[in-house]
Structures are given as structure tokens and as C-alpha cells.
Homo-oligomer: A and B are copies of this chain.
Amino acid sequence: MIKPGTPRGFRDFGPNEMAGRDFIFNTIKDVFRLYGYQPIETPAMELISTLTGKYGEEGDKLMFRVLNSGDFLQEAREKGIDFGNHLELGKYIAEKGMRYDLTVPFARFVVEHYHELNFPFKRFQIQPVWRADRPQKGRYREFYQCDVDVIGSDSLFYEFELISVITDIFERLGIHVSIRLNNRKLLMAIAESVQAAGRFSDLTIAIDKLEKIGLEAVVSELAAKGFSPASLSEINEILQFNATDNIEKLRFIEEKAGHTPSGKEGIAELREILGYCSKSPKNIPLEIDLKLARGLNYYTGAIIEVKAKDVEIGSICGGGRYDNLTGVFGLPGLSGVGVSFGADRIYDVMKNLSLFPHSADVSAEVLIVNFGEEEAAHAISLLADLHGAGISAEIYPETAKLKKQFSYASAKKIRFVMLAGKDEIAQNIYGLKDLSSAMQYQMSLPEIIHFIKKSNA
């Protein structure tokens, strides 16, 4: 018999990985809730018509499609479709596709439930998505996205609020980050000021590759796209500019591109956001980054990207303002802003820097040794009291050698082993061994509960 496995690019998560992942998800959710964001969930499968055409050609190719139930060939047969052509046949045998991101389902959700929602609608959504990408190190076919968005308001206060959310989350996780901020309107202003407004998309796509391919390659890509030598020299100067001070960066770009309408708006927006940040008592690691472009083309205002300072791993959070997310589903004019946290990369950063707290790893806190039938019967009420006090505890299920019971505890990272033999039961004083220190104590049950709770604090 062949040993069974998962499909390529798919993963199991055992208890240790789950402990770390839950710590991340819970931290993220706690902060989202603190700011008044509410959870929603959408189905794993959407109608293929909801998904196709929303992610470009690449997305349509990488989308997982679900075979129709029953005789899936019937419709194609009736319509006389060419069974030899998979692209053609594919349209008739799979009417559902797997969730590819959380943005398109959210847009569909907002349009479908428009009249039940209270705007501005502040939602978060933490669910897996599926992409038939070629699996490689750090890239999987199933991974979680953690999205937080507010839709139905163009107040820039929400840009600040999300920057605040990001600050709190990474502070709680213990990851040092830099939060980079730019505005699509400034990129537009650059395009305008070099008389290339019509090539805005070429410009952002090229700049987005800056870190990957370097300045020289970006400039030659733009040259190939038809940017003039004069405009290239201007763009080159902007991309080479460096300053540590956000205000100085704004002054520089104002000089370069502040005379166009987009430039004026973009600078005013960044100033307003910086203004809010300056009122915050938090130490917000915000950096204006005039070279930040973001790949997705639905962003229309502020764009945000977060990087870990102590690990080279790319962006661990990113997002921005979009003015027309729901337009594609027939509901124009709803502005929103949101960011998405990359749980898998955050996990890798925390693992790499050993940032997971010990408590994330706990299975049970107490194992009661099983000394025999009578002692186990007594342990039932000890367990009820420990559970009642919120202490996770279990008894070894049979009367095995002490060594075996202790190694079960240590393999499961259970810190305390409780000894409740005949003598202990008679005296109501139990043995408690702390496996982390090898210290052993004799205490009553209330004392044990108090002691364990204190050790956790």
C-alpha cells in the first residue's frame, strides 16, 4: 500500500504549527476588533462568472475550477461543443471556481447585501484562498489571507486608522517593521509631468519591479515602452532621491510633480495622513516611499506596504485605497481602503526570529499520573476542579510505568505532572512536579491551582 500524502503544494498543519498560526490569527483578530472591524465569511466556491476576468489572464489560468456534479458533459454535448478543446469544454463542465482572493468575494458580498449593511462598513475576513501556482519554497496552492477594509467612505482618517492597526499588530507580534506609504496620485503626477499620463500603467508596473530588478533595468523597460530620454532622466532622478525625513520627501516630490492636479491631491492626502500620525501617542514606523507602486491596478490613492526589518522576506502586509471596487458588479462610486496581512510570511518571520511566546505552544498544563483504578476515579474530580479554574489538564489513560507517563507529558510539552496516589489522596496533599525546573512541591488542590495560575501570569 502506498503511503498517502497531500496533493502537491498543499500542507497539513500539526499542533505545533497550529499553535503559532493561531497566535498570529488571534492577535490580528483582536486588534481588528479593537478598532470596530467586524468579521464576515464568504464561501470557498464562487460562480465562475463572479471570478473570471477579475484577476487578468494569469488569474484565470491559475484559478481552480470545480467539476459540475452528475453528468458534467451533458450541457457541452447538447450544445455540440468541441470535446477536444479544453479551453472551450472547460466553460461548460465547471460552473464554480475556488476563492482566489478575498477582495472580489468581498465586492460581490457588498453588492449582494448592500441594503443590510451599515456604511461605512468596516469588515475583516480571514480565510484560505487557492491558486494553481507552481509550488516552490514559501509558495503554496492553499494559503490564508487576512483582509481588513472599510468601504463607503473617502475619509483619509481610515488610512491613518489602518496604519494604526498595522502598528499595533506588529508591536503585539514583536516584529520590527517599516510601514511604507505612497500615493498612486503622485505616480500619476510623475507620469503627467513627463508628458506620459497615457502610460501611467506602464510606469507603475515598471516601478513595482524596482527592488527585484534594480533601477537600471526599470529605466530600460520604460525606454522600451517609449518613454523619452528627457522623461527618463526625470524619472531616474525621482527614483534615486533619498532622504530620511518624510517632510523632506514630500517637499521634493512637490517640487517635481506638485504642479499637476494629481500631484496637488496626492501631496495633500499624504500630508493629512502624516498629520493624523503625528497626533498619535504611538511610535508609528511610517516612511514615505516615493518608489512604492504596488502591482494591482485597482488602487487609486494611498498605497501601503509593510516590511520586516530583521528578516529579508519581502512584503508581509500591504494594501491601499480603491475608488471603484464594486463597479464591476454594477455598483459604482463606493470608495474603500484596506490592507491584507500575509499570515504565512508572518509565520516564517516569527519562526525565524523565535518570536512565538511559550504559551502559544501549550497543549495541556497538567498531566495527572494514573496510579490505578481507584486513584483514577479520584482524579476525575481533581480534573473537574482544574478545568473549572480554567487550567487545561488530563490524566494518563491507563496505569503505565511512571517513565512512560512522564515522557508522554514531556513530548506533549505539558509543564506540570501531578501525583495523586493513595497517600496523597488520603491527606489531600498532592505532589506537583514542574518539568521546566524539575522542582517538586507538595500542595493542596487550591494551592496547586493558585500556583499554576501564578506561573502563567
Q: Is A227 in contact with chain B by the CB < 8 A criterion? A: no
What 1/0 flags go to A22-51 for Cβ under 8 Å of B? 100000000001111011111111110110
**Main SS class of interface, A:** mixed
| Residues 84-114 of A contacting B (Cβ, < 8 Å) | 84, 86, 89-90, 93-96, 98, 108-109, 111-113
CA distance A345 to B95 in the complex (A): 29
| A201 close to chain B: CB less than 8 A | no
User: What are the interface flags for A391-412 relative to B under an 8 Å C-beta threshold, 1 for contact and 0 otherwise?
Assistant: 1111101100000000010011
Q: Which of B13, B142, B397 contacts A40 (CB 8 A)?
A: B13
A64 at the interface (CB under 8 A from B): yes
> Does A3 belong to the interface (CB within 8 Å)?
yes
Distance to closest chain B CB from A106 (angstroms)? 10
Number of interface residues of A (CB under 8 A): 109
Instruction: Tell me whether A296 is interfacial, beta carbon within 8 Å.
Output: no
Distance to closest chain B CB from A360 (angstroms): 12
Contact of A43 among B118, B142, B412 (CB under 8 A): B142
Instruction: Tell me the number of copies of this protein.
Output: 2
Taking a contact as CB atoms closer than 8 A, the residue among B3, B35, B65, B390 that contacts A34 in the complex is: B390
Q: Determine which of B39, B86, B132, B158 lies in contact with A73 in the assembled complex, contact meaning CB atoms within 8 Å.
A: B86
Binary interface encoding of chain A residues 116-132 relative to chain B, with 1 for a CB under 8 A from any of its CBs, else 0: 11101011000010101
Show 5 residue pairs from A and B whose CB-CB distance is below 8 angstroms, ordered by the A residue: A14-B113, A34-B392, A36-B412, A65-B66, A70-B86
Q: Measuring CB to CB, which residues of chain A are less than 8 angstroms from any residue of chain B?
A: 1-7, 10-15, 18-19, 22, 33-36, 38-47, 49-50, 61-62, 64-67, 69-74, 77, 83-84, 86, 89-90, 93-96, 98, 108-109, 111-113, 116-118, 120, 122-123, 128, 130, 132, 142, 150, 153, 155, 157-158, 160-161, 164, 168, 275-276, 279-282, 329-330, 363-364, 367, 376-378, 380-381, 384, 387, 390-395, 397-398, 408, 411-412, 414
